[in-house]
Amino acid sequence: MRIQSGDRKTMEEMGKRIREIRRERRLSIAKLAAMADMDPSYLVRLEKGGNPSLLILNRLAQCLDVPAGMLLPEQENTPSPQEPMSQEVDLTQLRDTGVRKIVLGDCVLFL
């Protein structure tokens, strides 16, 4: 399967996100690779635009203590991690819809 230019750009942006967050956490490549149980050279390849599996992406996210989605490149109309989405919702309106549970990040609201 050939990698399209758009896919390559997405992988490069994902690698940049991994590198940015790793540096924010003040982790060396060797340290993060050890935490994620992977070879440092593989992490270098990922940061340069390699194509990680979902399992590897999830493992890196856990080691960096971020949601896996935060490692993905930002899409248009998607709030950045620095700009959380805020929207008022009247939860009483949900009561009659059959919704019983709302998950917001690490928070769970039961109605």
- What's the average model confidence in pLDDT over 46-61? 91
Q: What is the DSSP string of 88-107?
A: ---GGGTGGGT--EEEETTE
Residues 59-77: tens digit of each pLDDT: 999 999 998 888 887 755 4
**Which CATH class for the 7-71 domain?**
mainly alpha
Work out the end-to-end distance of the chain between its first and last CA atoms, rounded to an integer number of angstroms: 47
| pTM for the model | 0.62
